[in-house]
Amino acid sequence: MKRSLGTCYYPEHWPEAWWANDAAKMVETGLTWVRIGEFSWSKLEPQPDRFDWGWMDRVIETLGSAGLKVILGTPTATPPRWMLDKHPDMLAHDKEGRVRKFGSRRHYCFSHPGYLDECRRIARILSKRYGKHPHIAAWQIDNEYDCHDTAISYTPNARMAFQNWCAARYQSTDALNRAWGNVFWSMEYDDFTQIDLPNLTVTEPNPSHVLAFRRFSSDQVVRFNRAQCDEIRKYSNAPITHNFMGRITAFDHYQVGADLDISSWDSYPMGFLLDRVCADQAEKKHYLRQGDPDFQAFHHDLYRATSSGRWWIMEQQPGPVNWAPWNPAPLPGMPRLWAWEAFAHGAETVCYFRWRQAPFAQEQMHAGLLQPNSEPSSALAEAAQVAREIDALPEVGTARARIALVFDYDSAYAWETQPQGLDFDYFQIVFEFYRALRKQGLSVDIVPKTIDASSYDLVIAPALLTVPASLTTAGHLVIGPRAGSKTEEMSIPEEGVPNIFGLAAQVPYVETLPPFASIAVDGGGAVTKWRDHLLGDGALYHCDEGAIALRQGKITYLGGWPDPAFLRRIIQDACALCDIPTLDLPADLRLRDTDKHRFFFNYGPKSVVFQGRTIPPAGVLWTTLS
């Protein structure tokens, strides 16, 4: 498949007289796609049921007749001010019970029935009008669920919906009381209407209650997204997407993705580095202008798994953003590298955010492909270069990796609810495994835990809440720490811990460690943060007090959070067992194989020499695989 580029455009921010020039310039740059509309509700429907279609009709016509394909966003992330007069209780409440007010965006509670109907209505009206339009080639639903922590809300509407959710799941309060262990501290209910949301309790709420609420909150996002998809599909055959954000564990992206034709996500490598990547200061300094070398790739592989395999970058950082604590400018070459890395991981399309920098409002300090005065910013030439390169290399190819890494949203909810050690972070442990695999030159598929594991040579599943037996059909399974240590309802399993089919091991107790403590592993490396005290046959790695990992048949159980040196050993050993070759890459270099090419990405500020090739800073190279 030929890859393509696009951009995010806000025609409502610019004089109409500019649109045709903008469109011509997009085409001249080599862009194929243009996304519009996702924040434009107040312009489309300035008063309830009073629509202004003229400008939207004309801009679609202008962009489309210039040769661009339009992605039309439903504007439901930005309900206009009049919506609040109609639905005064539609705003979300934070954990402290405070109202999250109008004046920015994403100001709605997923559980408000009236607002959900408004979203269905606008999705219906838009798709009726434009669903068969020849220039509308895709739809985007809403914008970045949970951005600004908006998936979880503590309103009376959420409470009522949660009570109904509990009634449907548990059928009786007796069953719920048993499942949650409510006999503890006399927390028993005898009517579903007594159940409150798990905030503002005197001390910590019951973890089973919190886990249920997290699952419920995720289901509300799924329901909200599906409601709009269902409307659009009645009137349009164009594919539907939603743009996910990075490091979001507030809802199950696999479940939202199941209703989409294409998953997409918004990649802001330098914003992420300073805002949401865990790394020490020296590393952040080293990658300041490039972004973390693994964070984007992790999300490429994760979100590829959330739909049928079709995925895009809907927003790609072009220059400094405005929202991280500090906002450096990218090293020349990075906007090109980021695009190629996405293509190498299977992205069909990369859209740069945004076409022109806005001179007003919240994001006036956020770069675009053009400056506010329409002069090009440096990323424009890089986008044009990528477009020329796509023409020269029409087939990037895709590939299935031999290694799968499991990412499970339920486990994220569970360990966020009950970390036991301050820094036990599910996202982080999975990400550290991913980084270690990448550092050894390996291409990885990220998968849900329900995957058919038998089709992978090696499956790695850190910190899984519960372990389905199907995972043990992998060529080899590396699992743990903390694996199978709970039931679905967040209690300790009667079968004992770890509760893993085919593994005869016990963890009689666990301990967590502060950042200044670790346990050395014989032969090199250490365990940090978490330790399972492991009993069972097949001890594989040892520390002073006994086994830290054991192997029985096709399962390796790892009884702690490995530091990078120990993790490297674990991966080398597991890959050797599975006959998967590893590489010793220079620190800043990353590879990605497709079925046709091997791509090399230099995330460093200096040239890197590897296997006789010199890759310049921010450089991308590819070779053809035989």
Q: Rank residues 272 and 413 by Cβ distance to ligand GAL and give the closer one.
A: 272
Q: Rank residues 139 and 530 by Cβ distance to ligand GAL and give the closer one.
A: 139
603 and 590 Cβ atoms separated by less than 8 Å: yes
Size of the site for ligand GAL (CB under 6 A): 12
Enumerate the H helices of 171-264 as residue ranges.
173-180, 207-235, 253-257
Nearest approach, Cβ of residue 147 and ligand GAL (Å): 5
Q: Rank residues 131 and 368 by Cβ distance to ligand GAL and give the closer one.
A: 368
Give Cα separations from 40 to 32, 126, 370 (angstroms): 22, 12, 21
Enumerate the H helices of 53-96 as residue ranges.
54-65, 81-86
Say which residue the tokens 């509990």 belong to.
166
Torsion sign across C-alpha atoms 318, 324, 328, 334: negative
Nearest approach, Cβ of residue 265 and ligand GAL (Å): 10
- Using CB under 6 A, which of the segments 143-151, 169-177, 279-287, 565-573 binds ligand GAL? 143-151
* Contacts of ligand GAL in 321-350 (CB under 6 A): 321, 323
If phi > 0 it is left, if psi is from -120 to 50 it is alpha, else beta; for residue 148 that is left
C-alpha dihedral, 310 to 263 to 394 to 350, nearest 10°? 180
- Using CB under 6 A, which of the segments 142-150, 161-169, 193-201, 592-600 binds ligand GAL? 142-150
* Contacts of ligand GAL in 289-318 (CB under 6 A): 315
* Contacts of ligand GAL in 573-612 (CB under 6 A): none
Among 112, 366, 402, 449, binds ligand GAL (CB under 6 A): 366
Q: Rank residues 181 and 328 by Cβ distance to ligand GAL and give the closer one.
A: 328
Among 41, 268, 530, 601, binds ligand GAL (CB under 6 A): 268
Per-residue binding string, ligand GAL, 197-236, x by CB under 6 A, is ----------------------------------------
Does residue 252 bind ligand GAL (CB under 6 A)? Answer: no
Does residue 143 bind ligand GAL (CB under 6 A)? Answer: yes
Distance, CA of 208 to CA of 180 (rounded, Å) = 5
Cα first-last separation, the chain: 19
Distance, CA of 621 to CA of 376 (rounded, Å) = 26
Say which residue the tokens 């590819």 belong to.
622
* Contacts of ligand GAL in 34-53 (CB under 6 A): none
Among 266, 341, 382, 563, binds ligand GAL (CB under 6 A): 266
Q: Rank residues 224 and 433 by Cβ distance to ligand GAL and give the closer one.
A: 224
Going by the DSSP 8-state scheme, the letter that residue 454 receives in this structure is G
Say which residue the tokens 């908006």 belong to.
150
Distance, CA of 381 to CA of 367 (rounded, Å) = 14
User: Which residue numbers are catalytic?
Assistant: 144, 315
Does residue 144 bind ligand GAL (CB under 6 A)? Answer: yes
- Using CB under 6 A, which of the segments 91-99, 141-149, 273-281, 467-475 binds ligand GAL? 141-149
Q: Which amino acid is at 254?
A: Y
Q: Rank residues 119 and 321 by Cβ distance to ligand GAL and give the closer one.
A: 321
593 and 399 Cβ atoms separated by less than 8 Å: yes
- Using CB under 6 A, which of the segments 22-30, 140-148, 472-480, 585-593 binds ligand GAL? 140-148
- Token pair recorded at residue 343: 């293509």
Residue 282 burial class via C-beta count within 10 angstroms: exposed 0-12, middle 13-18, buried 19 and up: exposed
Q: Rank residues 51 and 323 by Cβ distance to ligand GAL and give the closer one.
A: 323
Nearest approach, Cβ of residue 315 and ligand GAL (Å): 6
- Token pair recorded at residue 240: 């539907």
Say which residue the tokens 């989409």 belong to.
260
By CB under 6 A, name the binding residues for ligand GAL: 143-144, 147, 245, 266, 268, 315, 321, 323, 353, 363, 366
